[in-house]
Structure formats: structure tokens, C-alpha cells
Amino acid sequence: MSQQQISKLSSSESHTSVWLATGVLLVTALTLGVFLISPLAAGAQGNLTNLFALSTENVTWYVIRSAGITAYLLLWFSTVWGLAIPTKIFDRYLNGNFTFDFHKFISLLSLGFLGLHIFVLLVDNYLPFTWTQILVPFMAPYRPVWVGIGSIALYLTVLVTITFYMRNRIGMKTFRLIHYSSLLAYFGAVAHAFLSGTDSSLPAAILMYAVTLLVVVFLTVYWLYVAIRK
């Protein structure tokens, strides 16, 4: 079989997979829609409300904190990965293109959980935030300084993530200079998470923030050492 035939076969299989996935999604959506308008939905909703305490304000608090902690850990992982790339720690184990793409993926994933964190803050019944209080630093009704630092960290994270897709236009030198601000974003995220988080007094939370912060400090010092030697 020629290379051209193999290419056409792969393309045909790809199109078939796309149509199959689309069909499954449509059938699933239709089934879900029929279920939601049926009498069974009312009974199921009541059972879920009792099972997960969805009628209380605790559920939004759990989502806010879990999304925030997940976003922080992903941002930490992205920062650690970004510090490891220039020191070439992964070079003997992983392909350079993979490490760069994975770094970009982690950054996007952390932004996704940050978006969930912000959305639930907007709809929270206990202490709802407005868009202005979230997007304008130091305007929040709750711990405005540390929430404001979190807003600045968010902007820096978005800026750094956008430059992944603009590095050919802005040049690698500018890309690297902007990328250095990811450290400021991480340290701002640490301050925001620890000093505005309602569960930061827990020993497990203190241990998590301390260990992750020390790892970033160590890798930052090692990265500076390697850069000076070069």
C-alpha cells in the first residue's frame, strides 16, 4: 500500500471517528433532554439535593475552595515545569517539544479552574462578588488586599499564557522577558491563597503551601545558578 493510500485511509478513519463521536453526543443530549422534562427528573433532583446538600450554602464554599486549590496546584506545577525546562532537567528523558506543549497545557488547565473559582464567587449566596470587585484589584469586600493580589496574579497568568501563541510575532527574547513574570504570578497566588483562604489555618493547608513554595524557591535558585554559569 502506498503512502498516499495510507494517508487517505487515515483521513477516512478520522472523519468516521468524528461523525461517530458527534452522533454519540447528540444521542446523549437528546436522552438527557427527554429525562429532564419527564416526571422522573423531579424525584431525582430531590434525591440529589438531599444526598449532596445542594440546598445549603456549603456546596458553593466547597466548590470555591476546591477549584481555587486545584488552580493553585496547577499553577505551581506549571511554574515548576517552566523552571525545569531551561535547566534541561527533562532533556534526557523527554522530547523538548513535549515539555513545552505540556507546560502550555498545564497553564491553560489552571486558567480553566481559575475561571470556575471566579464563576462560583459570582453566584455564591453567602458572600457574592461582583465583576468589578473581582477584576479591579483591592475592591473586594473580603480581605481586599490579598484578593486584589490574586486578581493581579490572574492577569499575569493570562498574559504569560497568551504569549505561548504569540512568541513567533513578539520574538523569543520578549517572550522570555514576559515569561519571567510567571514567578510573580505564582508568588502572588501563594499570598492570595494562603492569606485569603478560609481553610489556611489547617495544618494540611499550611504544609501544602510551605512545601510547594520551597520547591519553587529551590528551583528558582538553581535556575539562576545555571544561568549565571552559562
Residue 206 dihedral angles phi and psi, to the nearest 5°: -60, -45
Q: What pLDDT score does 150 carry? A: 92
Residue 55 dihedral angles phi and psi, to the nearest 5°: -85, -5
Q: What is the mean pLDDT of residues 94-111?
A: 80
Quick one: pLDDT band at residue 168, thresholds 50, 70, 90? confident
- Is residue 30 scored above 80 in pLDDT? no
Cα 79 to Cα 180: distance, rounded to the nearest angstrom = 10
- Is residue 17 scored above 70 in pLDDT? no
pLDDT digits (tens, 9 = 90+) for 126-143: 777 888 998 899 998 888
- Is residue 162 scored above 60 in pLDDT? yes
**Three-state SS letters, the chain:** CCHHHHHHHHHHHHHHHHHHHHHHHHHHHHHHHHHHCCHHHHHHHHHHHHHHCCCCCHHHHHHHHHHHHHHHHHHHHHHHHHHHCCCCCCCCCCCHHHHHHHHHHHHHHHHHHHHHHHHHHHHCCCCCCCHHHHHCCCCCCCCHHHHHHHHHHHHHHHHHHHHCCCHHHHCHHHHHHHHCHHHHHHHHHHHHHHHHCCCCCCHHHHHHHHHHHHHHHHHHHHHHHHHHHC
Low-confidence winner among 56-60, 215-219, 222-226 (lowest mean pLDDT): 56-60
Cα 94 to Cα 162: distance, rounded to the nearest angstrom = 24
pLDDT digits (tens, 9 = 90+) for 54-101: 455 567 888 888 889 999 999 999 999 888 877 776 667 666 677 778
Quote the mean pLDDT of the chain: 78
More confident residue, 76 or 199: 76
